C-alpha cells in the first residue's frame, strides 16, 4: 500500500508540472502570427490602407462616377446642351416688314416722284352736267380685275373729293364701265357710287374750283389723271398734266369730255388726248 500511494503521488506531481508549463506558453512574444501575418502583412500595410481605403478606388479616385467626368458635372448633355443656342429663333420671326403688304396712300399735290401703276385701264369719259358720271375703259388685250381700283373726283370742294373704290367686277379687253353718282345708273353693268360726284357744271373760276379726276390701282398707284379749268387741283405728286380750258361753247347738259387717243401715259399725261363730244349716256 505505501509503495502504491507513493507512485500515485509522483504521477500527480508530474501532471501538475506539465499543466503549469502549457499555461505559461500563451503570452510568448515570439508568435509568428502577431508579428508577420495578422498585423503587418494582412490588415494594415497591404489590404486596408494602401489598396482598399486610400488607393485609387471608385470613391476617392480620379476616375470615379461621382467626382470624375460623369454626366452631372462633366461634358454630358445635361449641362452642355441644356440652354439652346442664341440663334435658335428665326431672324425674321419678329419682323413686321414680311407680315402683310402696305397699301400706298393716294398722293395729293404737285412735286415729288410719281408712283405709276401698270394696269391698262384709263379714264375714257367725264360728264360734269346735271348727272355726273365717269367712264373707264380697258385699252389692253387682257381682262382686268376692278377690285381695289379707286376713283377720286374733285369739283366744288377741293378739300372734299368724292372717292369711290370698286369692290368687285372684271373689265374685259376693250370694254367700258360707267360709274354714276348716287343711284343714277340704270343699265346692266352700271356702277353707282351712292354719293354725289361734286363736279362743277359751269366754267370753273377761282371761286368755283376746277374739276379733276384721278384713277388709282388697288395699291394706290396712279393709272390716269384728268383736269379741266384754269389750273389743276389734287394732282398726284410727280404727275404732269395741263388743265383743259373750259370750251367757250361747251354745254355740260349735252356734252362731255371724252378721250380721243392715248398718247400720254403716267407720269406725263396729255391734255391733247381729250376732246368734247355728245354725252354717250344722256
Helix (H, G, I), strand (E, B) or coil at 136: strand
Who wins on pLDDT, 147 or 59? Answer: 147
What's the grid cell of residue 53?
A: 481605403
Q: Which among 101, 136, 107 has a CA at the least distance from the CA of 122? A: 136
CA-CA distance, 198 to 218, in Å (whole number)? 23
Domains in the chain, CATH or no CATH each: 121-277 (2.60.40.1260)
**DSSP state letters, 11-67:** HHHHHHHHHHHHHTTTT-TT-HIIIIIIIIIIIIIIIIIIIIISSS-TTTSSS-TTT
The three-class DSSP label of residue 7 is: helix
Task: Compute the distance between CA of residue 275 and CA of residue 253 in angstroms, rounded to an integer.
Answer: 16
Task: Using DSSP bridges, classify how beta strands 211-216 and 150-154 pair: parallel, antiparallel or unpaired.
Answer: antiparallel
Terminal Cα-to-Cα distance of the chain (whole angstroms): 183
**What is the reported pLDDT for 112?**
74
What Å distances lie between residue 45 and 35, 60, 61, 98, 229, CA to CA? 13, 19, 19, 78, 121
Distance from C-alpha of 178 to C-alpha of 187, rounded to nearest angstrom: 9
Write out pLDDT tens, residues 19-60.
Answer: 454 444 444 444 444 444 433 344 344 444 444 444 444 444
> Is the pLDDT assigned to residue 186 strictly greater than 80?
yes
| Residue of higher predicted confidence among 191 and 16 | 191
Name which of 262, 214, 222 is nearest 273 in CA terms: 262
At 114 the pLDDT is 86
Q: Can you give the pLDDT at residue 153?
A: 97
Beta bridge partners of 227: 212
The C-alpha atoms of residue 135 and residue 226 are separated, in whole angstroms, by 12
pLDDT tens per residue, range 65-120: 444 444 444 444 444 444 444 444 333 333 333 333 333 333 344 457 889 999 99
**Comparing C-alpha atoms, which of 193, 216, 230, 198 is closest to residue 107?**
216
Q: How far apart (Å, rounded) are the C-alpha atoms in residues 272 and 253?
A: 23
Angstrom distance (rounded) from CA 19 to CA 83: 84
pLDDT tens across 234-281, in order? Answer: 999 999 999 999 999 999 999 999 999 999 999 999 999 999 999 999
Which of 6-10, 76-80, 134-138, 240-244 is most confident?
134-138
CB neighbours of residue 126 within 10 Å: 24
Distance CA 254, CA 1 (A): 187
Dist CA 170 CA 144 (whole Å) = 6
Phi, psi of 236 (to 5 degrees): -60, 155
pLDDT band at 143 (very low <50, low <70, confident <90, very high): very high
- Give the pLDDT mean for 179-194: 97
By CB atoms closer than 10 A (0-12, 13-18, 19+), residue 99 is exposed
Amino acid at each position: 500500500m505505501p509503495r502504491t500511494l507513493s507512485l500515485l503521488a509522483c504521477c500527480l506531481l508530474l501532471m501538475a508540472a506539465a499543466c503549469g508549463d502549457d499555461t505559461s506558453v500563451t503570452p510568448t512574444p515570439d508568435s509568428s502570427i502577431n508579428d508577420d501575418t495578422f498585423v503587418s502583412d494582412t490588415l494594415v500595410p497591404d489590404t486596408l490602407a494602401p489598396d482598399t481605403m486610400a488607393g485609387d478606388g471608385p470613391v476617392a479616385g480620379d476616375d470615379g462616377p461621382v467626382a470624375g467626368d460623369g454626366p452631372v458635372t462633366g461634358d454630358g448633355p445635361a449641362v452642355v446642351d441644356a440652354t439652346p443656342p442664341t440663334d435658335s429663333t428665326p431672324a425674321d420671326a419678329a419682323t413686321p416688314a414680311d407680315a402683310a403688304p402696305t397699301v400706298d396712300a393716294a398722293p395729293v399735290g404737285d412735286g415729288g416722284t410719281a408712283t405709276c401703276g401698270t394696269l391698262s385701264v384709263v379714264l375714257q369719259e367725264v360728264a360734269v352736267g346735271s348727272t355726273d358720271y365717269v367712264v373707264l375703259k380697258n385699252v389692253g388685250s387682257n381682262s382686268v380685275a376692278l377690285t381695289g381700283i379707286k376713283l377720286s373726283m374733285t369739283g366744288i370742294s377741293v378739300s372734299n373729293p368724292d372717292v369711290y373704290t370698286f369692290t368687285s367686277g372684271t373689265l374685259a379687253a376693250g370694254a367700258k364701265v360707267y360709274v354714276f353718282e348716287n343711284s343714277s345708273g340704270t343699265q346692266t353693268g352700271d356702277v353707282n357710287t351712292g354719293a354725289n360726284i361734286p363736279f362743277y357744271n359751269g366754267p370753273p373760276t377761282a371761286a368755283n374750283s376746277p374739276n379733276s379726276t384721278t384713277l388709282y390701282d388697288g395699291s394706290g398707284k396712279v393709272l390716269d389723271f384728268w383736269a379741266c379749268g384754269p389750273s389743276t387741283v389734287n394732282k398726284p405728286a410727280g404727275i404732269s398734266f395741263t388743265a383743259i380750258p373750259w370750251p367757250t361753247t361747251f354745254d355740260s347738259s349735252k356734252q362731255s369730255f371724252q378721250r380721243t387717243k392715248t398718247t400720254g401715259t403716267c407720269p406725263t399725261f396729255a391734255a391733247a388726248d381729250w376732246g368734247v363730244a355728245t354725252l354717250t349716256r344722256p
